[in-house]
Amino acid sequence: MNNVEQTLSIIKPDAVERNLIDQIKSIFVKNDLRIKDNKKISISKEEAAEFYKVHQSKPFYNDLCNYLSSGPIVVMILEGKDAISKNRKIMGATDPKDADEDTIRKLYGISIDKNSVHGSDSLENAKKEINFFFNN
Enumerate binding residues for Mg ion (CB under 5 A). 121
Q: Which is nearer to ligand IDP, 2 or 63 (CB)?
A: 63
Residue nearest to Mg ion (CB): 121
Residues in contact with ligand IDP, shown as a per-residue x/- string from 114 to 133 under the rule CB under 6 A:
-x--x--x------------
Q: Which amino acid is at 82?
A: D
Q: Which is nearer to Mg ion, 9 or 69 (CB)?
A: 9
CB-based contacts of 9, cutoff 8 Å, min separation 6? 28, 75, 76, 77, 78, 87, 117, 118, 119, 120
Catalytic site includes residue 55: no
Of 108, 105, 117, the C-alpha closest to 75 is: 117
Residues in contact with ligand IDP, shown as a per-residue x/- string from 58 to 87 under the rule CB under 6 A:
--x---x-----------------------
Q: Mark residue 34 as left, alpha or beta (left: phi above 0; alpha: psi -120 to 50; beta: remaining).
A: beta
Q: Which amino acid is at 7?
A: T
Of 6, 13, 12, the C-alpha closest to 91 is: 12
Catalytic residue among 84, 118, 119, 129: 118
CB of 118 to ligand IDP, least distance (A): 5
Contacts to ligand IDP by CB under 6 A: 55, 60, 64, 94, 112-113, 115, 118, 121
Q: Which residues are catalytic?
A: 118
